Structure 1
Amino acid sequence: MSTGQAMGAAEALSPREATRAILVDVERTMESVLADERARWATEAPRGLALVDTVGALVAAGGKRLRPAFCVSGFLSAGGDPTDPRLPRLAAGLELLHVSALLHDDILDCADQRRGQPSAHVRHEATHRAAGWRGDPRRYGESVAILAGDLALVYADQVVDAARDAVLREWTMLRSEMMVGQFLDVTIAAEYDADPDRSRWVAVCKSGSYSIHRPLSIGAQLAGRSDLAGAFQTYGAALGEAFQLRDDLIDAFGDDAAVGKPTGLDFEQQKMTLLLALAIRRDARVRKLVLPNGGGPADGAAVDTDELRGLLISSGIRDEVEAHIDTLVAGAVAALDDTPLAEPWRRELTAMAHEVAYRDR
């Protein structure tokens, strides 16, 4: 098929179909990178395959592929050539960056499951223990998972090596925002700071920038459309906050089996999520339950999670957060109104906003 024929075929697809077609190439790109790495280390250092396969296992476990989808949508909605070979590589880089973050997050969050399977650090801890190796099994498992996360980050940079100028600047900002946002998340948890504005900033940085705004902008910049940056930033910031609030609600009220990982960890670990920060400001009973200076548990003591869930419902906070998510989604969609996007793509980005904000996992 000629380039012209391929472009014509892509134009005949709906935005969702066109995105899915390119996401197939994104999967192939990641599979190719991992296959090349396996072939290399099978010869040079076969023991190293365990590390490569730790990255590969999380890639193969699937996931929402949210960041690649927004990158591809940003590119195609900006009029980019669907046959551009750089696009699947950039989108694959975003997913590999996400894999890196997940491997590290599971250690930070003490999460023993990911995508319905034991987390990487848990699996490697079990391997150490079963083999009777020397040292601390938990330390070993966490060390391997940290290294696997670092390796996924190397792969992410490897597949975006063709990025230049504006695209590379977006990529660099995305990486630093993700890491600084994660640090601030950890710091707020340690300080137990109940300031919703700080928690909201982390949500916008970690979820809005990393998951939505930057992937969209990377796609648009690749297509040569820097004029869409402002609208995509507004869309991403609002939708990112909605994304994080939905995450908080899923952790508070979700089902482990449906979500594919343990829920309730935020409450058990006394993590200062945006949901909890809003609840503390809104309800004295919540403050009394969770804040040490309000009569709640001292550092390290357990919070009565069932009582906390009940308060979030009976006080109306859960409903208020749902209403706030509605407002955020409306704001994200409104940011697209004055853009020169074709109507099918405006509808598609509207649909993606609803899927992100109203998901159940």
Structure 2
Amino acid sequence: MATHRKHRQRSLGGSTVRTAATIALAGAATATGFDGTGHAAPRPTPEQIKATVDRLYQEAETATEKYDGAKEKADAAEKRLKALGDEAARRQQKLNSARDALGSIAAAQYRDGGIDPVVRLMLSDDPRRYLDGAEFAERAGVRQTAAVSDVRRQLREIGRLRGDARVELTSFRSRQAELRRQKKAVTAKLDEARRLLAGLSPHQRAAIGVGGVTGSTTGHATGARDPLGDPAAVTAPGSRAAEAVAYAYRKLGSPYVWGATGPNAFDCSGLIQAAYRSAGVSLPRTTYAQIGAGRRVPRSALRPGDLVFFYSGVSHVGLYVGHGQMIHAPNPSAPVRLAPIDQMPFAGATRVA
């Protein structure tokens, strides 16, 4: 009877491995075009690059508003910290004076020897004079007790101030760390946008409306034939709104710089804050706070001077100037300019003056 042997499976070695490797390399070559017949991934079109850049700019602007908010809080914490330091220094100086006064009293007592008052009366050549002096000493003792109490109170106050300063210092350092995080996020997105735009020719950048003012993205140019290019043609409802609009017109063409509030460069909320600051109106620093700084108005009731906000996260703001137009600081690829408010997703409007 013949013996039946089971055939062992050959391990992946020798020619089997070489065959598998050859097939894998051939497939990779075909996928990547190394064999001359495959096709590399198509290069993004200028329009696709623009869409990516626009997204990066929007994300950068969101990070910028967070940076602006963190900076505002850091600046406030720094001011409070300085005020606490100044107050602690004043209290310390006053305490030192009080301690000097107590030291003088203690020195006088030491010179007198601390002799028992009855003994001093018995040894005195002039008891009446001594009794008068004892009455004075009693009054001085009351003053001394009050001085000691005052020193103790000042020590408690200084301790409280120093405790508050430690809390404020912790807050300040936390704000600084947040600033660094947001700055890193902004610069990373802006660097990536610049890298993408650098791959386009000047003609391509002009065609998609980035890297300069073009009709395709400004809505209305600022030429003399455009009535919106003349601030005198804008009728604002009040003097403060009128001044804010006039300021924004004067800043047309100013560069966008993230975190800037003027007078020569701006980010979006920085332009709005500066415009109303020129009219004597104090506005918060960020879009998130600015939208709540006045009375909300519907889009159908917009008037020149109103603040118009965009995107679901309220990360962009412009100053409405009438006829469906606003002045805003768009992004690093474009200066302060006129633009239609339907250029971006409308989120709301606020009237502050």
Give the TM interval when normalised to the shorter protein: under 0.3
Structure number with the higher helix fraction is: 1
| Structure with the greater alpha carbon radius of gyration | 2
Structure number with the higher strand fraction is: 2
- Using the size of structure 2 for normalisation, the TM-score is 0.20
- Using the size of structure 1 for normalisation, the TM-score is 0.20
